[in-house]
Chains A and B, each alone.
Chain A
Amino acid sequence: MGDDVGVIPPVRFAAAVILVGLLVAAAPSGVTTSQGLLSRSDGGVLGVVVHREVRAFEAPGGGELFFTTARVRGTDLATGAEETVDVTFPGGFISESRGAHSSTAPPANATRVGRRVLMFHRRVEDIAEGFSGEVLVDGGGGLFSWFESRRGETIVQGRGPGSAIARNVRLADLRGDVRGALGRSGEDR
């Protein structure tokens, strides 16, 4: 050993480059990185916020904890089945002076009633004081928006480099990618 440390044989290097190239070529543009998010979530709901509510809970060390729950009516991202999901995230205000801002919450405007959202969520038991439910994955990082284009396509809006969905993608492409990823994830398990 010693002399060989850090030196990759040319054949293995070439094989690795080819493998990476094949993987990149096989991956649909813009949606490959959602796999990490999917692995941390129970699912995604694509729909419209129809209700929003802020609740207060007693904090263990005194004071209050505030959580916002947005009710999203739409379809399951993987199956396309209709569903309504209550997704909770930290922060929110019950009145003008009672509430708290959270650095991990999505912008308030992004979850107002009527907003078109794609939320990745997962089940959490005992969020606060025995309250359990679906929470938004990765704080604001699990929230995306979508719109209907003039050509009638549903476009999910990517949020740039570093985001789970970096670039805009058609829902049909994203749905296929998610199904594939979930299938691979199931086989891995």
Chain B
Amino acid sequence: MESVPNPRARGARLQGLAGLLGLGLGGFLARARAPLFPDILDLSGPDPFRAAATRGAALAAGALLLVAAGPLPRRAPGALLAGAAAGVASALFDPVGGGLLVGTAAPWAVAVPWLILATIVAAICRGGLAPSLPHSPPSSPEGPASWALSGGVLIASAGVALGLEGLSRLALRLGLATRGEDTLLAAVLASLLAIGGLVFGRATARAGDHRCPALLLGAGALGLVALALAAGIAEPLGFKALCARVHADASLAGTPRVGAFVALVVLVLPALAAGTAMHLARRPATLAAMMLGAALGISAAPGLLEVAPVEVLRGDDAAGSAGLVRLGALIAGAGALLHAAIQPAAGRVGLAGVSVGVMVGSLLLPVSPVPVLDPWERFPVQPIALFETPDGQFTVEPTGASRRRVTLDQRALSPRSRELAGEAARLRASVEAAGDGPVRRVLLVGLLTPERAQILAALGVTHVDRTAGWWRSMPLVEAVLGPPGAALGGEVLSPTEARRRASRGDHDLVLAVASGATGPLPPALGLRVGDGATPTIAWRPADRPAAHLPWSDVLVRATDGLLRHSFAWADGEVSGTRRPTEPMGSLSWWRWMQTRPDARARDATGQADARIASSPTARAIDRGLAMHALSQAASSPFESAVERIELEGAAFDQWREAAVGNPALSPFERGVIEGAVRLLVERRLIPELLRFAVPIAEAHPGWPALELALTRADLEELDPEAALARLATLIQGPGGTGTSGGRGLRTGDRDTALLLAATLMDLDRPADAAAALGLVAEARPGDLEVGLRRADALVAAGDPAGRELAARLFADHPDHAELFGLAQGMRGMTTLDPDPGPADGR
């Protein structure tokens, strides 16, 4: 038999064993937050119901483990809690779950908690733990050990877990974390539980299981106080004040510092009380009841969330996560009341009274939803719709002219107006890269916005099935966005059904759009759906680190026309760029998390570009892209998207060399060249534009984008005759869209028509300028720029139709000074101020 040298050593051994048990248990719970081994259909995060069930099952397993561990937990509860906190925190090192230290921690570190857990389970099975403990009676003297008495604890724990779940949802949203990135929050919560136990639990003079329900009741009630705190932080000024406490600002939302502090402030009160309760539990049954209660609460949380009907745009009738906190307090009160009714100990009357008070207070307390909107935006966000479902908080915000952008927990599900060019390029590149045959049926992983529907329809797609981790909310979101504006078949599918149909070959392409709501991307992410017969293209969110990610052998790339580009993973018969053999970047997850959110895309893309450029198969275009990406730097938020882009002369040299020497450029390469030209045009760097574009235009005659850019250069050089001659050649050329020659040049292309009109205005031919815009104005009656320039030309020509047109447009744009002036027959008006400055054209 094993000898125990002395009580002190025995105590140390107890502490160590309990700590190891906690480490294994905490590590296990942290890793069982979501189903393991996700594939490309899980890119948008796990299904919340499946995730809740997984977490509940893990907690129930943990409860069984504690029961099996016998008296060990009650002999060293502090060590158990501290070990559990360390175990949860160890998930930060875990590359399998997308932990924060991916790329930094040694690969073997991931196995440590599992090994510990396996060792402890094995020891329990062999009875290796129980004999090492001397027999001692429970330290709770009063009352018989009864499973019935644990019923109240179980119910109260379920209430506390429900409240903590509601608060955690708010904390994650405030900290700008995606649903899958809650490792940090879990570590903060576990640490608070341990601190509560070690500080307040040890300080309590008389431990005992009968005190647990009272403390759990306190945790439930404190959840309501924490809810008020969270509501204060959700206000922009509150959030900024909170950030200032940790020497940060609102733009750092999404970094560990701000995320952890938000979690700390929101969870501290109920978590400390719950931790104290855990420390005071002395019967294995009580601790197990707490764990089972938590399992029940967390499993049930998604189903208990109040969801607003779609017609309630701001969801005022459904409290969402805040409602969970209130319900949690109510259930905690019920559990404590039940315990008071069964437990014969002194103080039962007081406990019953307080329980009733908390229950009545929870019922009567008016709880409003806590909307979380971007406090880090320069201008206040005014959502068109805001509602919460089990999948998270959805907002629909206006962007650009009559367009809408959707976010899930403040992470973008659809692009802003200014990002649409990139979105269109990605969809086009996807369809072009997916095999030789036509792409008619698509499985879209993500939101089908009207813009995406129109682009896909224009590319020949006729059927789009949609899926995502948040698929249950998808019909609601699509209803708020309105009709797609394109005749497309298809339906919303669960990931399971989508996987089944894709495996059956129902689709020509599985396409995952890049989404800011993407969860962590583990190295084990499966790129293949089914047997791999269906081409799969998944666009990597630009701001994700590339170092540890799975990269397919073929990369699909697309550029947005402003020298920003995207990569996609691919599987199946997909054409694209060969991936370099080196890892795609060295930016660790931890470094990435510490990087300012607005700089993440720049850093991650730069690293990936650099790796592609260092590959033996890299071309001049790739080298230029790497130079360009690595030259980018932080810019002022007051600058436009074009102004923020740094120009690297050597990159332009590489691109020019690539274009001049290659008569058959790929669509991506042409996109890069056109992006470079567009940037030089918009920055009005004329000598640089001529140096770059003229040799390419000579090598590729008739390239419309280049000819239009050179026309702009002519106009900048005050040479409208040369500009007109160039435009005439372009419009009347083989690929032109001109309808007649000479003075009556007309084109149906918007940009060309606007440029032609500007040229004719410079030549003092306003009537011809108005005519040049005729085709486009007919085709796009709602286009403000076209209408404005046409009205200006007509007024300049003395045509009364100009004033009428301007008056019609002004009715739709009552703040537009130039339109107001034109409606009165005055050109160049820049302000509606009755006493304008000298710059006004009046």
Contacts and interface: CB of A to CB of B under 8 A. Distances in A.
Given A101-B638, A108-B635, A155-B717, A150 B837 contact: no
A150 B710 CA distance: 12
A145 B684 contact: yes
A28 interface: no
A118 interface: no
Contacts of A148: 687
A163 B684 CA distance: 16
Given A36-B839, A150-B717, A161 B830 contact: yes
A164 interface: yes
Interface string A4-16: 0000000000000
A162 B839 contact: yes
A167 to B, nearest CB: 9
Interface in A97-133: 101-103, 105, 107-110
A108 B636 contact: yes
B687 A147 contact: yes
A101 B218 CA distance: 47
B841 interface: yes
Contacts of A107: 636, 639-640, 643
A109 B648 CA distance: 11
Report, as a range, how many residues of chain A touch the other chain.
20 to 34
5 contacts: A35-B838, A107-B639, A109-B646, A149-B686, A153-B718
A162 B829 CA distance: 8
A60 to B, nearest CB: 20
A14 B469 CA distance: 73
Nearest to A151: B717
B828 A161 contact: yes
Main secondary structure of the interface of A (DSSP, over half): loop
Given A96-B634, A109-B643, A148-B687, A166 B839 contact: yes
Nearest to A93: B634
Contacts of A163: 839
Contact of B683 (A33, A93, A109, A166): A109
Contacts of B647: 109
A91 B640 CA distance: 17
B142 interface: no
Interface in A139-163: 145, 147-151, 153, 155, 157, 161-163
Contact of B716 (A93, A151, A161, A168): A168
A36 B718 contact: no
A79 B130 CA distance: 98
Nearest to B717: A149
Nearest to B646: A109
Nearest to B722: A150
Contacts of A161: 818, 828, 830, 839, 841
Contacts of B636: 91, 101-102, 105, 107-108
A33 B842 CA distance: 11
Given A109-B646, A109-B683, A170 B837 contact: no
A3 to B, nearest CB: 24
Nearest to B636: A101
Contacts of B687: 147-148
Interface centre among B636, B647, B719 (most CB of A within 10 A): B636
B638 A102 contact: yes
B690 interface: yes
Nearest to A39: B838
Contacts of B841: 161, 166
A148 B685 CA distance: 11
A91 B634 CA distance: 14
A36 B684 contact: no
B319 to A, nearest CB: 39
Interface in B583-635: 634-635
A101 B639 CA distance: 10
A147 B639 CA distance: 22
Interface string B663-694: 00000000000000000000111110010000
B840 interface: yes
Contacts of A110: 643
A110 to B, nearest CB: 8
A153 B647 CA distance: 25
Interface string A159-180: 0011110101010000000000
Contacts of B134: none
A109 B642 CA distance: 10
Given A35-B838, A102-B638, A108-B636, A157 B716 contact: yes
B735 interface: no
A73 B69 CA distance: 81
Given A33-B838, A35-B838, A101-B638, A147 B686 contact: yes
Contacts of B839: 33, 36, 161-164, 166
